[in-house]
Amino acid sequence: MAMSRHNAPAFWHPLRVTTAAGACLTAAAIWAAAAQGLTQSPLAKETPPAAASAAVPGFWDPRRRPERPDLSRIQSIRFLTDFDYPPFDYAGPDGNPAGFNVDLARLICAEINTTCTIQARRFDLLLDALNDKQGGDAVIASIATTPQNRQKADFTDPYYRTPARFVARTESAIVDVLPELVEGKKIAVVAGTAHEAFLKEMFTQADIRPYPNAQAARDALRNKDVDLLFGDGISLAFWLNGSDSNGCCAFRGGPYLESRFFGEGVGIAVKRGNDLLRQALNWALFRLWEKGSYTDLWLRYFPISPF
């Protein structure tokens, strides 16, 4: 079974698969301006500090503080990523890896106080490269923590999850989205996805309208053919914050995080049995969240929160 991003292999991610091959490259170009260091995305809006704490959920439990491992045993970390998943991974203006995952890897290395390199490989070769002496020590490429992927690598605790969200037109009177409140409402969703399966099981009285791809589903909402759109919150946040939506729409209700449909989350992969590195990464991720560095980074890439 093929390695997957975010959710189960049967579910394709709208940011990854688009109606035109050039769309992913366009997204990469948009985010390339943010590639150097921790500069703010060109799509980002100013976010007041008060909003930051409310906009980003905690992926870590403050009551479960990881113990600090012996970091002196980690001399360097070779991170691997890919170029084909903006805004998480893409090629920067200089051709080097850039994106949310890359910036997070740099923060981790600074927290551990070790040197690191970040190289790009083809996505389907990333986990296998952990067993290659010339490969890498860790893979940070938005890889879903699934039972299939766990057979190839060990994973850190999730450093983000992919919520499902509803979107409505800004003038819509729909505020909350509950099954009893949207009975008979037309809901656009991409056919064959985990989101369609969720709607069919949980929103049985709604008028579910499957569309062949994300663009068609978004157009249906923009053109008022449907009342709501349901899909991946991260790609929808990217769309809402960009020019393609033209300010038409906004999130309503949610987020929905049922792991049975939307996965266990996204972790950093390490070679199986490399407990020292896995523990060090977990410790660093917790520290970055505790200090607010993770929140700052998240809001630079997602000023409209997917949560």
The three-point CA angle 218-184-215 to 5° equals: 10
CA atoms in the 13 A half-sphere facing the CB of 88? 23
The conformation of residue 5, written as its DSSP 8-state character, comes to B
- Chain mean pLDDT for the chain: 83
| Residue predicted with more confidence, 189 or 33 | 189
Q: Please give the torsion angle defined by the CA atoms of residues 90, 95, 98 and 102, in that order, rounded to the nearest 10 degrees.
A: 110
Q: Give Cα separations from 85 to 40, 141, 246 (angstroms).
A: 18, 8, 23
- Report how far residue 33's alpha carbon sits from residue 45's, in angstroms, rounded to the nearest whole number: 15
More confident residue, 144 or 182: 182
| In the predicted structure, residue 15 carries a pLDDT above the cut 70 | no
* 3-class secondary-structure state, position 284: helix
- The region of weakest confidence among 3-12, 29-38, 227-236, 280-289 is 29-38
- Tokens linked to 222: 């923009």
CA atoms within 13 A on the CB side of 243: 5
pLDDT of 26 above 80: no
pLDDT of residue 238: 86
Q: Which domains does the chain have, with CATH numbers?
A: 21-161+265-301 (3.40.190.10), 164-262 (3.40.190.10)
- Per-residue pLDDT tens for 82-94? 998 888 999 999 9
Mean pLDDT is lowest, of 28-32, 114-118, 209-213, 243-247, for 28-32
Roughly what angle, to the nearest 10 degrees, separates helices 275-291 and 293-301?
80
- Which secondary structure element, helix H or strand E, spans residue 267, and what is its range? strand 266-270
Number of Cβ within a 10 Å radius of residue 26: 13
Q: Which amino acid appears at position 8 of this protein?
A: A
Q: Would you say residue 4 has pLDDT above 60?
A: no
Q: Which pLDDT tens digit goes with each residue over 270-279?
A: 999 999 999 9
- Helices 100-112 & 293-301, crossing angle to 10 degrees? 170
| Span 126-169, pLDDT tens digits | 999 998 877 899 999 999 898 889 999 999 999 999 899 999 99
| Distance separating alpha carbons of residues 290 and 68, to the nearest angstrom | 14
Percentage of residues of the chain with pLDDT beyond 70: 81
Q: What percent of the chain has pLDDT over 90?
A: 66
pLDDT at 12 over 80: no
pLDDT at 200 over 60: yes
Alpha-carbon distance of 149 to 144, in angstroms, equals 7
The pLDDT tens digits for 58-114 are 788 888 999 999 999 999 999 999 998 888 999 999 999 999 999 999 999 999 999
For residue 165, report the phi and psi dihedrals to the nearest 5 degrees: -140, 155
- pLDDT band of residue 55 (cuts 50, 70, 90) is low
pLDDT attached to residue 57: 66
Q: What angle do CA 176, 47, 172 make, to 5 degrees?
A: 25
